[in-house]
Amino acid sequence: MVREMTKVAVEIRGFAVHASGAQLVPYKYEPGELKANEVEVRISHCGVCHSDIHLIDNDWGTSKYPFVPGHEIVGTVEAVGSDVQDRTVGERVGIGWQADSCGVCEWCRQGAEQLCANSQPTCVGRNGGYADSVRVNSRFAIPVPEVLVSESVAPLLCGGITVFAPMRRHGVNPTSRVGVVGIGGLGHLALQFAKTFGAEVTALSTSIDKEEEARKMGADHFVNTRDMAEMKKVAGSFDFLLSTASADQEWQALMNSLRPKGTLCIVGEPPSPIAIQAFPLIGGQRSISGSPTGSPQDLHEMLDVAARHGVKAITERFPMAKANDAIAKVKKNKVRYRAVLVN
Ligand code: NAP
Ligand code: ZN
């Protein structure tokens, strides 16, 4: 069989940030030769995850400029490296937070590539998806089921998997009482997945205008986290509480909302350390945990679940060249519920 070795880009054009908090500006770079295990993907859509904003603003102190943000990518395989067996030219794929891993460590061998010490994020130390093309290890380019629409599936590649994976790991099921804190890009997908898993679902939000839509997404109950009287009413309510908020929270009130043996799982990244009292943790055998993205296998499974159960992001579309407008709107918590850049 003659492998179709199609046109490899000589130049990739996108939008990069050159300093902490700066505006994105047009940018081009030469990707060089396509590596044997890589695919080159022509990007049609890229979601704007709040992690892009943390990276742009150097909130984690790890950003290296200039770089092209973007890690919720959907596009079409344009070229495959000489060793790639699992992807073909013309295939529609999705790419999330991770672009590569070592492939041989204990965690990669277990199929937990997200824990690989040499994991390479799609837009940290590499250029990501606010561009016309991107290259990743073919293992991290996941085929997208045909029924899923590119614009509404792009946000699942990071936002979706980040909430799906811990709910699966914690065995969320019809006996579970699940709370989701922060109904943004991640949170609105968490409500849908929690409902799909059969749980009783509560949305906990600082934005009371989100109540009606949160209920449509699967919330049985809605709690205003700024109202301490409402928070008191939900004390001892949840088996699994997923915090997706990017801002500091009343952590003790959230811990108090757990049932005995309940878990608070942190996926959102607030700026300050999380301080909680030990006693309610000890007395109720409660846990606090964290969760990163999922593995390629988790991504395959999540997309399959989304396709069969109709989980999809509610999006606001922006042309790629208007990425700065999208970012400004995310910063104001005004996007309902995920901005997606379109080429
Ligand atoms: P987003 O769309 O901006 O949503 C964040 C939500 O946090 C907001 O919609 C808001 O929900 C809530 N929030 C609570 N207090 C707030 C306040 N004082 N100001 C603004 N918002 C407040 O962000 P996202 O893309 O879902 O990402 C959420 C967080 O998860 C970010 O920190 C991101 O870096 C992190 N993240 C982590 C992973 C991981 O691997 N663990 C992956 C992706 C993203 P309400 O209006 O309902 O209160
Ligand atoms: Zn993300």
For residue 293 and ligand 1, the question of a CB distance below 6 A is answered with: yes
Are both 12-155+313-342 and 160-290 of the same fold?
A: no
pLDDT at 2: 41
| Ligand 1 probe mutation, 164, 244, 299, 329, most atoms within 8 A of CB | 244
Q: What is the pLDDT of residues 244-261, one digit of tens each?
A: 999 999 999 999 999 999
Write the CB contacts of 171 (distance below 8 Å, at least 6 apart in sequence).
none
Among residues 223, 208, 268, the alpha carbon closest in space to that of 242 is found at 268
Q: What is the pLDDT of residue 6?
A: 64
Which residues, including other chains, have CB under 8 Å from residue 61's CB and lie 6 or more apart? none
Would you say the CB of residue 330 lies under 6 angstroms from ligand 1?
A: yes
Q: Is 247 in the pocket of ligand 1 (CB under 6 A)?
A: yes
Integer-rounded Cα radius of gyration of the chain: 20
Buried b or exposed e, range 138-163, using 16+ CB within 10 angstroms: bbbbbbbeeebebbbbbbbbbbbbbb
Q: What ligand has the least distance to the C-alpha of 181?
A: 1
Output the CA torsion sign for 66, 99, 169, 105. negative
Residues in the chain: 343
Whole-number Å distance, alpha carbon 69 to ligand 1 midpoint, is 17
In this predicted model, what pLDDT tens digit does every residue of 15-31 receive, in sequence order?
Answer: 999 999 999 999 999 99
Distance 183 CA to ligand 1 centre (A): 8
Q: State which ligand 1 atom lies nearest to the alpha carbon of 292.
A: 40
Q: For 324, left (φ over 0), alpha (ψ -120 to 50), or beta?
A: alpha
pLDDT confidence of residue 87: 98
What is the identity of the amino acid at 36? A
Nearest CA owner, ligand 1 atom 46: 207
Given a contact cutoff of 8 angstroms between Cβ atoms, the answer to whether 65 and 18 are in contact is: yes
Give the class (CATH, top level) of 12-155+313-342: alpha beta
Whether 166 lines ligand 1, by a CB cut-off of 6 Å, is no
In the chain, which stretches have pLDDT less than 50? 1-3
Residues 6+ apart with CB under 8 A from 341: 45, 46, 47, 48, 70, 129, 130, 318, 319, 320, 322, 323, 326
H or E stretch including 28? Answer: strand 25-29
Q: Whole-model pTM?
A: 0.97
Q: Ligand 1: which residue has its CA nearest to atom 42? A: 162
296 residue type, one letter: P
Q: Is 205 in the pocket of ligand 1 (CB under 6 A)?
A: yes
Query: What residues have their beta carbon closer than 5 A to ion ligand 2?
Result: 49, 51, 158
Q: Please state the domain extents for the chain.
A: 12-155+313-342, 160-290
CB 65, CB 17: distance < 8 Å: yes
CA nearest 338: which of 213, 243, 172?
Answer: 213
Superfamily of 160-290 according to CATH? NAD(P)-binding Rossmann-like Domain (3.40.50.720)
212: CA distance to ligand 2 center in Å? 26
For residue 269, what are its two tokens? 């990244």
Establish whether residue 188 lines the binding site of ligand 1, counting it when its CB lies within 6 angstroms of any ligand atom: no
Q: Which residues are 234's β-sheet partners? A: none
Place of tokens 């986290």: 225
Residue 204 CA: nearest ligand 1 atom is 47
162: its two tokens: 């980040």
